[in-house]
Structure 1
Amino acid sequence: MTSLAPRSRRLALSAWLVALLLMLPEPARAASPDTVVLGSDQEAVSVTGIWMRRIYAEAFRRLGIPIEFAVYPTKRLSTTLDEGGIDGEFVRVHAYAAAHPNLVRVEEPVFSVQFALFTANPALRLDRLSDLPATPWVGALRRGVGVCENTLKPLLPSERLSEVTTPEQGLNLLLVQRIAFLCEIDLAMWAVQQSAEYKGVTGIRVLLPLGEPVPLYPYLHRKRAELATPLAATLKQMKAEGLIERYRREAAKEFS
C-alpha cells in the first residue's frame, strides 16, 4: 500500500496539470483584418471611378487590408456612411466632419477641386455671386453636393433651382438649354466629358468659380477610426511618389 501512494500522487498531479493546460486559452492567432468597404458616387466605369479605385486599391494594398467598393447616389452615400452601412468614402470637403459626428476625417487630402457655376451659353456673364438673384436665370445643382446647396439655396427660390442626381443629368440640361447654369465640381465635369457619349461636346465653361480650390479628404466611419492615421501617411507617401497624378493620366488615357 505504501509503495503505491507516491505513484498515485504522481498520477493525480499529472492529471491535474493536464486539466490545467486544457483550461488555458489557445495561443492568439493573427486575425485577418476585416475588409474595408469604401463608398463613392462614381461608377467603376467612369474615368473618376477608375482613378479613385486605383488610388485606394494601392493605399490599402500597402496597409495590408482587403478593400471593396460600393456605389450610391451622392445623398444616399452620405446617409449610408453616417449609419455605418459602409466603412468610408472616397472624398469630401474639410468642413464635412462638422456636420457628421459619426465620421473621422483622414488628415491628408487626396487632391483639390474647384466648385463653380458652369454654363453652355456663351452670352452669359456673371461677375459676382451676389448678382445672381437679379438675373432671370434658372439653374440646377447636384443633390448632396454641400457647397452648391449651401451657396445657392439661400440665394434663389426653389422654382429657379432644380436638383439632379448625376453630373450627366446636369450636363444634358445645359446642352438642351433647359437651365442657364449648373453648380458642379470641375473634376466631375471633366470626368463626364472624357466619356465616349460626351467626347465631342464643346462650349461648356466656368461661369463663376465659387471660392478657392478646395482640398478633398477621405472619410471613415468612427468604427474604423484606427485606420485614419496610417491611411493618411500612406496617401502622403503616394503623392510624394507622383502616383496620384499618374493614376489620373492613366484613367484618362483609357477614355481617349
Structure 2
Amino acid sequence: MQTADKQQITLALITDPNTNLYGKWGVLIYNEAFSRLNINGSYIVLPALRASNTADSGKIDGEMGRGEWYAKKHPNLIRIEEPLFNSNLSAFVVNPSIKIQSWDDIKAGQYKVEYYRGIALAQQRLTQRVPQNNLTDSSNPINSLRLLQRGRIDIYIGVSLIVNELLVTPEFIDKNIHLVAILEEGKIYGYLHHRHEKMASKLAETFQQMKSEGLFNVYLEQARQFIKTQDSTKSLSTSSTDQ
C-alpha cells in the first residue's frame, strides 16, 4: 500500500551503471534522494541523442546527468541546481605527434575527428572548425575508441568521465589511447521535465544535505567496489570460456 502512494519517476542515463563508475555512482545518489522524498525511481540507458529526445518530449521524466548549460538547448528541461560531479569535454588520441590545446588547434590540423553524438557543445564547436568530410559522430564511445586505435580517426572528442573509465578496461588499457587536451571544463547536473519543477528544487536541497553528510563520497566508494566486482566476474567468465 505504501508503494502505491509514491510518485513514479524514470530517468535516462547515457552510461550503463553496470559497467560505468559514474553511472553507478549516480544511481546510488538518486536512489537515496528518491527514498528521502518518497519517490520510486527507475532508470533507462539510452544513447545521448535519444535520451535528449525522449526527455524533451516528456515520455520520461528527465535525465540523470548532463552538462551545465544543457537546458539552453532543451527548454523543456529544468536543471536540478546542485551539481552531481565535475566533468570535462576532452580530446583523446593515439598518435603522439598530435599536439592540441584548444578547439582552434583541431581546426588547424585538418584531422579526422569523431565526437560523442548528442553533446550539443561538441557539435557546435566542431562544425565551425572541421570540414564535413572529416567529421563524424557516434553514440557508442567503445566503437569510437576502436576506430581511434585502428587509425580510422585521429581524434575522439568525448566526456572524460565516460572515456576514462573505458580506458582502464582490458580492451583498451594497453592501447596507448591518451587524453591530449581538456577542451571544456564543466559540471554534471540532473535535469527534469518542466512539469517537475517543484521536485527539482527538492532534489537540489536533498543533494546538498547528502553532500554535507558525506554520502556522495560514500557512494563513490561503493560504486568503485561494485565496478571492480563486475570486472572480476567478467575476467573469471572469460577465463572459463577460454578453457
TM-score between the two structures when normalised by the length of structure 1: 0.82
**Does the Cα contact within 8 Å between 1:143 and 1:163 map onto a contact in 2?**
yes
**Does the Cα contact within 8 Å between 2:101 and 2:183 map onto a contact in 1?**
no
Q: Which position in structure 2 is the counterpart of 1:186?
A: 160
**Does the Cα contact within 8 Å between 1:194 and 1:255 map onto a contact in 2?**
no
- Map residues 55-66 of structure 1 onto 2, 5 A cutoff: 55-66=29-40
* 1:128 CA drift (Å): 3.6
Q: Which position in structure 2 is the counterpart of 1:109?
A: 83
- Map residues 217-232 of structure 1 onto 2, 5 A cutoff: 217-232=189-204
Structure-2 separation of matches of 1:192 and 1:111: 18
DSSP-derived class of the 1:67 partner: strand
Cα deviations by residue, 1:173-231 (Å, 9 ceiling, x for unpaired): 11112111101111011222344444x335222222113x2011110001222201110
Structure-1 separation of matches of 2:191 and 2:208: 15
* 1:158 CA drift (Å): 1.3
2:128 to 130, 140, 154: 154
Larger mean CA deviation between 177-186 and 234-243 belongs to: 234-243
Structure 1 residue runs of 5 or longer lacking an equivalent are: 1-30
Cα deviations by residue, 1:42-80 (Å, 9 ceiling, x for unpaired): 123222322221111111011111111111111010000
DSSP-derived class of the 2:223 partner: helix
Q: Which position in structure 1 is the counterpart of 2:27?
A: 53
**What is the root-mean-square deviation of aligned Cα atoms in Å?**
2.0
Structure-2 separation of matches of 1:102 and 1:235: 22
1:242 to 194, 206, 214: 214
1:252 to 209, 215, 224: 224
Check 1:255–1:68 CA distance in 2 against 1; reply closer, same or farther (3 A cut): closer
Structure-2 separation of matches of 1:63 and 1:234: 8
Structure-1 separation of matches of 2:224 and 2:151: 28
* 1:131 CA drift (Å): 2.8
Structure-2 separation of matches of 1:65 and 1:129: 42
**Does the Cα contact within 8 Å between 1:118 and 1:207 map onto a contact in 2?**
yes
Establish whether residue 138 from structure 1 lines up as the match of residue 121 from structure 2.
no
Which residue identity does 1:113 align to in structure 2? S
Which residue identity does 1:84 align to in structure 2? G
- Map residues 49-128 of structure 1 onto 2, 5 A cutoff: 49-128=23-102
Cα deviations by residue, 1:147-179 (Å, 9 ceiling, x for unpaired): 211111111111111111121111111111211
**Does the Cα contact within 8 Å between 2:67 and 2:186 map onto a contact in 1?**
yes
Structure-1 separation of matches of 2:224 and 2:97: 30
Q: Which position in structure 2 is the counterpart of 1:33?
A: 6
Identity value in percent = 32
Check 1:253–1:32 CA distance in 2 against 1; reply closer, same or farther (3 A cut): same
Q: Which position in structure 2 is the counterpart of 1:208?
A: 181
Check 1:220–1:230 CA distance in 2 against 1; reply closer, same or farther (3 A cut): same
Which residue identity does 1:93 align to in structure 2? G
Q: Which position in structure 2 is the counterpart of 1:3?
A: none
Cα deviations by residue, 1:12-61 (Å, 9 ceiling, x for unpaired): xxxxxxxxxxxxxxxxxxx7132111111112322232222111111101
DSSP-derived class of the 1:114 partner: strand
Structure-1 separation of matches of 2:36 and 2:28: 12
Q: Which 4+ runs in 1 deviate beyond 6 A?
A: none
DSSP-derived class of the 1:201 partner: coil
Structure 2 residue runs of 5 or longer lacking an equivalent are: 229-243
